[in-house]
Structure 1
């Protein structure tokens, strides 16, 4: 069990150190998060050290100028997290987040109004605390199509559809700061969980399919909720059209048999609407394998779904290829994976079922460029479909496209696309081209370009570097100067140049110059005092417009983009941006904040307003990469926050 010397705050610090993927934590950030002094946090570290010395091999490592980090084996993480969560101390304290989740459960399950006085008495807090927590809960519920209704002398109820209510119930763990379904399963007796688990395993066996762990867990929770809500006479309703379509599916037969087995075990009778609702969840569940489809490698879709899935995949791949200049359609593995993945997605979205992605924040941080391209792509194609693809689903799609990029890069490994700039005519440029391709097998010379045409060519075609016989100015692409005859000494020089490019591509400083290329003091705003992220986005976008770098509508489009999905990427950084077609000249506006801003689920202190034209894809990728790396450097972020002048801030970058 957890040692008595660990208080609630110390447990929270240790939980943060284990669960948040950061190389170092700045004491100031932890103090701000927990609303206490830095001195208190340092004292807490001493107590955490004592606990770790007694119970594990993990160690707190303090690095001057960087912060603190936790050295811990993966095998020990689960053990300590389990102790943190299940300790008697934590259960008795009913911390704020846990209490909010319990209040939400009570309100969502209740069939009659509850009063603030009843809730305050149950959780041993005053009414002001309950009112504040209901305000927090209201924001969470509004995102799920539900609302808290206060009626004087009557009480509090939740307004909204039954299917939205159940979707919210299934995700209550989010309110406790944990992913998964642990919280909601705790609200049911262990024998109820065991019965449904056993019958679901039998369903897998009878239908010859295997759900992913996540899909199985979600089906378990929705079945438990179906049982309890039916007993409370709070029933799901499906339209006749939906029921007719679902009845035609083989999954409906399996689900019906499953549900009929549950009825005598729980002494309840389920309606056809409930069977249809559970069938929709099974249709939307991710299947690891299915015997009847493994023989031919295809998913067994009905004709109506097959056409819709095919059209969605084609549209998505075409739009992503246009945005990134990558021919995704050439990757057969990607195409097959998208068809299989979007089968369950379309079913979930068509029936209004919730999509939850526990990796959302990690994916946004790890692959910010690809995630953003997916967000733009689904926004462009959304008008053609009767459903909206949420950011949780966009994150899953990001993984598919990122994997395709890595496969394509592996296939093209060592091959670099270059152009030559030769001032001595076509004949000499052809000689230079032949020598390059003969001496460097990993090079493909795509073209020979005149110096005067170079800028226009680079706007239309991505190249790795340029081999030039004359000096070049004001270009973002790396280049090397050689003689037209490519003498022997220059072959080694070119080989060293290529090796440096390969090394730099994996080095954080490789793209720092990209930040300098688009940043200027007039667009840097240190230590701003602003109360809301939308206000800040509007301010920075309007500055870009006022200084002639963007069109007037850029601010509006940037706000629309932010509403689709938060642009916070972790580490206290956000990267808002609008439509590239509204950019007149690529530029970045930068702001730091006196006090961190709430940016959905994160606190943000440094904001980079990106305004890059669509023709600058390579530099955009580098920027996203650099900013993602910066989010893992708390000491640098701390220095940026402390900078008083624009020039000082740019020097730090």
Structure 2
């Protein structure tokens, strides 16, 4: 049997793509680095016959290497079989069944039959099939898919590395061990159990009182409560709220906050001051306060202290000047950032570091919001002297990303009219397909037969989708499709709505594309690119220095072999992308990179760059596209890959 400390170390090493310091492993286990050294020796003895070993790299830390993945997987299987035989708990809840299925499938060498799994868990085959939907969704997040073969069953398919990361999360029981939140050595670590108990209290109370919270708001409240509890337990009392208490105390949410706090106090034997209860009530009130009153400005001022309000406004003004996102007056964003920032700045004062499990997804899926988060971080450091790291920047990016989505919705979907030759049947087919595929981007305002088209007022129509050729000149664009919409038709419509086609040619220029180069380091690539762009008079001499300044805050390597370096503040008079692909991947901080896209945004830009960021997002998150792009040798082939 493995003890819980050894399991924690093994899990962390399996989940890491890079070295982990002894100091970090010691902090999350609440032991000394010397104890960790002994533990690693024991792990190496244990793993020596099982296809893996841990390397100790001088000055850097520890890294797990798997020499024989089959042997290592069989070893994990034997460990968990041993644990299961000691603790033969049959999974009861859907969550337990999903975790059990992931564990079983990850460790299996062959196929697993549904009937056998159902029998083992004492549930019906249909229950298992339902659970498998969740299993597939979770596995897809690790780039692992389930292959189903008639008469054989199910098998996981994916790279060994992805299987390893997934195994780190799902093979170890995290109930008694430290997890996503941990604090400096002078305060005890948060444990998964503590966080789960606090979350259960919040969920129970908000369900009982029918309060709806967004995921971001719930996450903020959980972190806030956990840290308030730790801070109070350690003797720190910080008054977080100075404004008019009475207006908060009178709200129903204050009573709910009080009930949450009473439960937390009973559970953890601490006493919260009244100001903390008011602060929690504000979290619960959130955007409700905005919708209840006509004077949203007054609410914002009441909720946020003046210095905090000023800080948020400086952040949003800087983001607006840089990116022109149109979100600086979003009251929901102002309150959301304000509520997040006060405890965030306090966290740093007390040496608390909150890990952000969503960081990789945020960087990949919201690159523009993440860049705006970086700017927020720079402003926070300038204004408060508190330097925040990329985990916290990721949380700020979530708020900004949500505001960008709201802004997109306000600018409204494109209005579309469907034209058909053969009457309503096929028009309805197109109508429902568009509704299901583009519910947010397109508002289908109606269908019509071709012969009635000249009688219609097209002033309210942004474009027409037609299943027949239309030769006459109409005042709106026409997208011609087949009556039964295939992938090609959907792509044509998507390209029109999102305007990505135009952006490919607009942002990539042949003279700024350097393909299949043989550089061996990040510095070589950046110096070469700077030299090329400065030689063409496109960037200022301080460009390279500003790029390194940006890299200092958080590396711009996003995974999937892609890096998007750029200066911390604009250093060019135009907006463009410069590309360098490499023959072999190079190390870029903790990730490998083979596709480098230098992003330059015009100073004081007022252009809408959303389509460019959508295009970059499409590249960053698609490993298949990156693989094709790093292998092409000509500009034309590069554009062709992106156009398809």
TM-score by length of 2: 0.52
Give, in whole Å, the separation in 1 of the partners of 2:557 and 2:578: 16
Cα distance in 2 for partners of 1:321, 1:216 equals 27
Partner Cα separation in structure 2 for residue 247 and residue 338 of structure 1: 16
- For 1:130-279, list aligned pairs within 5 A: 131-132=56-57, 135-136=60-61, 178=169, 183=174, 185-186=176-177, 214-215=219-220, 218=223, 236=234, 238=236, 242=238, 261-262=266-267
8 Å Cα contact 2:625/2:641 also seen in 1: yes
Partner of 1:96: 13
CA–CA separation in structure 1 for the residues paired with 2:624 and 2:55: 38
- Within-5 A mapping of 1:490-639: 492-496=473-477, 504-506=496-498, 508-516=500-508, 518-520=509-511, 523-531=513-521, 533-578=522-567, 581-600=570-589, 602-614=591-603, 618=607, 620-639=609-628
In the TM superposition, 1:90-489 aligns within 5 A as: 96-97=13-14, 104=24, 106-110=26-30, 114-115=34-35, 118-125=38-45, 129=54, 131-132=56-57, 135-136=60-61, 178=169, 183=174, 185-186=176-177, 214-215=219-220, 218=223, 236=234, 238=236, 242=238, 261-262=266-267, 287=284, 305-325=304-324, 327-328=326-327, 334-352=330-348, 353-376=352-375, 379=378, 383-388=382-387, 390-410=392-412, 441=459
Q: Per the alignment, in what secondary structure is the counterpart of residue 321 of structure 2? A: helix
Q: Measure how far apart 1:628 and its partner are.
A: 1.9
| 2:504 and 2:639 in contact (8 A); partners too | no
Distance 2:625 2:239 in 1: 57
Q: 1:200 to 1:588 in 2, by over 3 A?
A: closer
Other-structure match for 2:435? none
Residue pairs, 1:21-40, within 5 angstroms? none
Q: Is the 8 A contact 2:374 2:393 kept in 1?
A: yes
Q: Identify if the C-alpha distance between structure 1 residues 102 and 587 changes in structure 2 by more than 3 Å, giving closer, same or farther.
A: closer
- TM-score normalised per structure 1: 0.51
Structure 1 residues without counterparts, runs of 5 or longer = 1-89, 139-173, 231-235, 265-269, 415-437, 445-463, 465-488
**What secondary structure, in the 3-state scheme, does the structure 1 residue paired with 2:395 have?**
helix
**Deviation for aligned residue 1:402:** 1.4
- Give RMSD over aligned pairs: 5.7
Partners of 2:13 and 2:309 in 1: how far apart? Answer: 47
Out of 118-127 and 607-616, give the one that drifted further: 118-127
Using the alignment, how far apart are the partners of 1:589 and 1:123 within structure 2?
46
User: How many pairs were matched up?
Assistant: 441
- TM-superposed CA distance for 1:400, in Å, is 2.8
Whole-Å separation in 1 of the counterparts to 2:307 and 2:457: 50
Q: Which runs of 5+ in 2 are unaligned?
A: 1-6, 64-164, 179-189, 417-455, 464-469, 481-491
Of residues 189-198 and 587-596 in structure 1, the stretch that sits farther from structure 2 once superposed is 189-198
Residues 498 and 611, structure 2, Cα contact 8 Å, conserved in 1: no
How far off is 1:196 after superposition?
A: 6.5
Distance 1:335 1:303, change over 3 A: closer
State the shift of 1:318 in Å: 3.4
Q: Secondary structure at the match of 2:578?
A: strand
Listed one character per residue, the Cα deviations across residues 337-365 of structure 1 (whole Å, up to 9, x for unaligned) are 43144223223223425455433333333
CA deviation after TM superposition for structure 1 residue 221, in Å? 6.4
Shift of 1:254: 8.1
